[in-house]
Structures are given as C-alpha cells and as structure tokens.
Amino acid sequence: MCGRYATARGRQEIIDDFDVERDTTDALEPDYNVAPTKPVPLILTRDVRELHVARWGLVPSWAKDLSIGARMINARVETVHEKPAFRRAFVRRRCLLPADGYYEWYAREDGGKQPFFIRPSDGSMLAMAGLYEIWRPDREVGRGGPGGRSGSVGRDGLVGSDTEESEEEWVLTCTVITTEATDDVGRIHERMPMLVEPERFGAWLDPALSGPDEIRSLLVPAAAGSLEAYPVSTAVNKVRNNGPDLVKPLPEMGISSNETPTLF
C-alpha cells in the first residue's frame, strides 16, 4: 500500500457506523489526501468504544523522536506479530481506521505512474485494520512537544484524562496493517490494507484478546468484487492538494490491455 488515503465522512457518520460510545474529538476535517504524519480518525476500545484523532505513522514508545513514524505507516500482516516495533501493539493496542478509500499508483510501460482510487463498490466506508501506540517525548524536548493538538493525549495515554500536565506531552500514533492485494486491485499494486468486517469489530478491538493466532484469524482480505478502482487526477501526487476533486474519476481509462488485463 502506498502512503495516501481519503477520510472525508462526517464525525456523526463515523460514530454511527462504528457504534462509537465516546467521542474525544473536537472536530474532524474532511481530508481527501491523507499523507504520513497527518491527523486521522481512529477507533479503539478501552472500557467502551472510542473515537480519537491520531498521527499516521506509528511511533514505538521507545523511540527517541517522532521522525521514525514517517517510516511506520504500514505493518505487513505476514510479520506484524514478530517485528519489535509492532508486536506489542498487535497484542494489546489494535484499532480501526475509517476511510473512504485509498490511492495506489500503477506503473505504466512508458515509465509514468497513474494514480487510482480504490473504494468499496457499495459506497460504504473501509474499516482498515490498524495498531496504535502512545509516545511521550523526553522532557527536554519541551512542553507542547511535536505533534500539536492532532493526535495528542493525556497522562493515561488518551485524550480526556484529568491531568495537570499538558496533553500535548503525549502523542497517539497509528499504522495500517497491509496484506497481498486481491485480484480486484492486485493488477494496480501488490499490497492493500487489511480490512475488518463489521461482525469482527468487537473482537478486533478487544484489548483482552491477546493470542496472536486468534488475532490473526480475525483478518481476512477483502471479498472478491467488494472493491472498485478507477483512475484519478495526478493532482493527488502533491500533498498540498486536497478536496473532493481528487477522488473524481477521470474519463474512460483503464489499464492498457498490452500491459495487463484491464480492470474496467
């Protein structure tokens, strides 16, 4: 999976679709061009199911600074339970990342790359399987450390705690678990986000479920035919570009038949 996706649904729609019981967000701005280190909506369970805002790019608790997060936006499902940066979160800190869809770039024979937007064919939201971590900068980094309001948390590791310390001293970060792409989208890119079906939300988010094999059994690739892909403007290539035009389909255009069978 490349490092871009779109999350533009309203806060109430996310709350309703994911049965959120506690909303910790001040506001959720639509973002049609989510890139590494940007704030994203995240759903997790403590006593109840909660909606938070996190920084995309997992920062392990032992990291010296936030910069490592830019390289930790994805975790491969094949090895996530083994990698030092992810294995503890896989057992104890799993989350869901709502998305309208995600972008991938198809490499053409002429050397160029065409962006495609991949989304549920029924218009629903994606529930991408994710992991989260809670990171605190060293005190010498300074109060109100890196990250600002987006993805900042309190003393107990999450927004909303009653504390005298600045909530900006803690940062909530996340990563997306990826898997091999299904045939629907595999002709564009070999990887895709691992998705969680609604009937498995509760088990996936349950922090009491800690057996790696049992956890892995909850993850299945997207069902055949459940996703659609179409080409979009190369404006998405620049992070500063945003807005609904980025996910608007281009005129009739498929993957050339002399390169690989068309998807369209």
Sign of CA dihedral 37, 175, 183, 196: negative
Structure confidence at residue 189 (pLDDT): 74
Q: How high is the pLDDT of residue 196?
A: 92
The per-residue pLDDT for range 195-245, each reduced to its tens digit, is 999 999 999 999 999 898 899 888 877 666 788 899 999 999 999 999 999
Among the ranges given (35-44, 78-87, 166-175), the one the predictor scored with the smallest mean pLDDT: 166-175
Q: Is the pLDDT at 74 greater than 90, yes or no?
A: yes
Q: What is the mean pLDDT of residues 103-112?
A: 87
- Rounded to the nearest integer, the mean pLDDT of the chain is 83
Active site residue ranges: 2, 104
> Per-residue pLDDT for 156 more than 80?
no
Contact between 50 and 158 (Cβ < 8 Å): yes
Cα–Cα dist 48/57, whole Å: 24
For residue 184, name the pLDDT band (cuts at 50, 70, 90): low
Q: What is the pLDDT of residue 261?
A: 32
CB-based contacts of 60, cutoff 8 Å, min separation 6: 68, 72, 84, 85, 133, 135
Sign of torsion over alpha carbons 37, 101, 99, 200: negative
What pLDDT is stored for residue 106 in this prediction?
Answer: 86
Give tens-digit pLDDT for 134-154: 998 764 443 333 333 445 444
- Could you tell me the two tokens for 184? 């629907």
Cα distances from 64 to residues 60, 69, 75, 198, in angstroms, run: 9, 11, 20, 36
| HEC-encoded secondary structure of 150-167 | CCEECCCCCCCCCCCCCH
Distance (Å, rounded) from C-alpha 91 to C-alpha 208? Answer: 9
Per-residue pLDDT tens digits for 25-71: 988 899 999 999 999 999 999 999 999 999 999 999 889 989 899 99
Residue 1's identity, in one-letter code, is M
> Residue 53's closest CA among 66, 39, 72?
39
| Mean pLDDT in residue range 173-194 | 81
pLDDT of residue 263: 37
Given the structure tokens 């895709």, which residue do they identify?
192
Q: Could you tell me the CA-to-CA distances from 253 to 103, 108, 233, 250 in Å, in that order?
A: 16, 13, 12, 7
Per-residue pLDDT, 164: 41
Per-residue pLDDT for 186 more than 90? no
pTM equals 0.84
